[in-house]
Structure formats: C-alpha cells, structure tokens
A and B are shown apart, each in its own frame.
Chain A
Amino acid sequence: MNEPGKRSLNYPLRRREVVQELLKSREGLLVVAGLGAPAWDATASGDHPLTFPLWGGMGGAVSIGLGLALAQPDQRVLVITGDGEMLMGLGSLSTVGLQQPKNLAVVVLDNEHFGETGMQTTHTAGSVNLAEIARASGISSSWTVRESSEISTTREKLLHEEGPLFCGIKVRAETLPLVLPPKEGEILQKRFRNALMNENGD
C-alpha cells in the first residue's frame, strides 16, 4: 500500500459513529444509502423503512436522492454514500448543481479506499477533492470534515440549512462487521413508499 493510502488508516473519525450521529432521532428524514459500507453503516444505525439502501446501481445514489428530493420538496433527503460510489457518478453533482434542490444533502464517507473489493486506494487518496468538485458543480455549500468536534454542527447544517449541501467526511479506512439490510429491492422500494405515502401493499 502506498503512502497516501496509509494516511486514512489514522483518520480520527469512525464511519459507524458518524452515521449513528447523523441518523439519530431522524423523524421524517428520507435516506438513500450508497452500495457497500454506507448501506451497512446506515443499517447498523437501525434498519428503517425510510432508508433506501443500495445493493447495486453504483454511481446512482446522488441521482436517486435528486429524484426523491424533487418529488418530495417538503422532506429533507440525505444521501449517504462512499468515495468510490461518488467518483462513479460525478456528473450527478453537476445535475444537482443545476437543479438546486433546497431539500437535498449529500454526505460522502470518504475513506479513500474501495472498501468492499480489497481496499484499493481511490482517487481521493491522491489528487481528488470531492467537496471542491461539488462546489465547482454549483453546490456552493460544500465542505470537508475531519474531526469529531465538527460532527454535531455538520448534522445541524445537513438537516436544516438550505440545500443543496455537500459534505465530504474523511473517515478511517477500516473493515467492520457486516450489518446487512434486506436484499429484496422490490420490498425495499415498497416499504419506503408505504412509509412515506401510507400506501397499502401495491
């Protein structure tokens, strides 16, 4: 492993604790959790019908969040994804920048590694700064967080400030026990819609 790849082994923030904090007393918050570790992190904070955890669709988390935010303008939508997933869908930040959804917040748990596939380093271990990309894409409230002292104000901003918002959170590269959400996509989407719109079944 090269030097930039080792740096994130010592980052103070731990992803599970960060997500736990972001999702505590979440009320009507709508959550899209990107595939891999972010989906496990969200599930570790409690499986919830208003969380849509992804088992695929890599690169699509922000776009799902955008479609949801446009459909539900009065609800806060929080996308929680990883650096690898975000890098695959960088164009979606441009689309969000253009649409300016006031109720959309994006969090990237950036451990600078492809965690599910053998911990290879991603571009963010080297030259790429995701918050700068988000800002340059038209998401003017974009920032990076590295310390635990910043998490509670970050949560406040993500849940209450006018969007679109983007927060890159540098988290420790670590392999944690899997906490898996249900796998059946049809069940995941139906329970989400049921919880949101009080639909019954179909």
Chain B
Amino acid sequence: MEPKKEKTREPQTWANRIHEVFKSHGITQVSYVPDAGHSRLIQLCRDDHDLRTVVLTTEEEGVALATGAWLGGQRSVLLMQSSGVGNCINMFSMIRECRIPFFTVITMRGEKGEFNPWQFPMGRNAGKHLKLCGFEIERVEKSTETQQVIDQVAQQVFMNSSMGAVLLSQQMIGVKTFKDE
C-alpha cells in the first residue's frame, strides 16, 4: 500500500534523531519494508549517500542481508512494522545461532486507535515473539525519548553482538486512519 503523505501531527524530528544515531554507530546498510510511520526516516536514509538503502520484498530478507553485511564488516539496521516480525521468525534462528549483531526499529500497528483489525494479532504480540527469539526490546512512547533509546539499544547490539529491537508506539508515530485528510 502506498503510504499517504504524512500530515505532520508534530514535526517528525524523531526520524531525524534516529538517522543521526544510525550514523553515529557506523551503520551503513539500511534495509526496509515500507511503513507509513517509517516513511520520513526511510527518505532521510535514501537521501544520505553514505548509507546503502535496500528495499526488500519481505522482512526476512533483511535478516539475511544483515548477516551478509556483518560477514563483510558492515553494520546494518532493518526497518519494518510489527506485522513484519512474524515473517522473520525462522530467519532469527540463524542470527541467534551465528551470534550476528542485529538491530531493528519497528513501527507498531495494532495498538490504540488502529483502524485495521488484521493488524491486532502481530501488534499485540510482536514484542513477545521477539523476546522468545532472543531479543532485548525497548519501547518508545514519546518522541523526546527516541534518541536515547535508539542509541542505547544500538550500543548494546554492536558492543555485545546481541539482538536488539526498538518498538515505536503507534501513538507516537501517528495512527493511520485511512481517511482522506
């Protein structure tokens, strides 16, 4: 689905902050399956010639891509929405077994205000699934917390070769309404 032009509920400075943190941690490959909530961050990464952005056909490709990037000496991040977590689960076995540092930033669907009920099952359980797969997870509720949380999780992932996910709450990113605005 083509993401609609975001009407700015508040200036999406959190996207700029995340982009800055990616840079400060030496991340050079950014893979994604689009989400409206990630659209500004994706655009910032695409416009940055020091980052290689890779649009995927499905999220588990991004897990494998991160493995290859790490083998080749590069750090990467996967941007996806909560429904994508379900697509990745078997591939997460590989990064766990191979101890590949893996970092993902997830925009949440299926939370308060969600219009599409088919988003609820993964929205409610993405965090639990990630934990079962071996992830450390942190949630961000307020845009002012974004930079600190992303920075901490990235630090942990790349210093300790661990699996880390930051979940951005639907309230923070703005609920998708499917109405013409």
A interface list, Cβ under 8 A from B:
30, 32, 52, 54-72, 89, 91-92, 94-95, 98-99, 185-186, 188-189, 192-193, 196-197
Contact = CB atoms under 8 A, between A and B. Distances in A.
A70 B97 contact: no
Contact of A60 (B29, B57, B64): B64
Interface string B49-77: 00010111110111111111111111010
A72 B61 CA distance: 18
B44 interface: no
Interface of B: 28-29, 52, 54-58, 60-74, 76, 90-91, 93-94, 97-100
B98 A188 contact: yes
Contact of A70 (B57, B60, B69): B69
Contacts of A68: 68-69, 71-72
Contacts of B90: 56-58
Contacts, number: 120
A57 B97 CA distance: 10
B61 A63 contact: yes
Contacts of B56: 91, 95
Main secondary structure of the interface of B (DSSP, over half): helix
Nearest to B98: A185
Nearest to A137: B57
Nearest to B58: A91
A186 B64 contact: no
A64 B72 CA distance: 10
Contacts of B74: 67, 70-71
A186 B61 contact: no
A79 B23 CA distance: 30
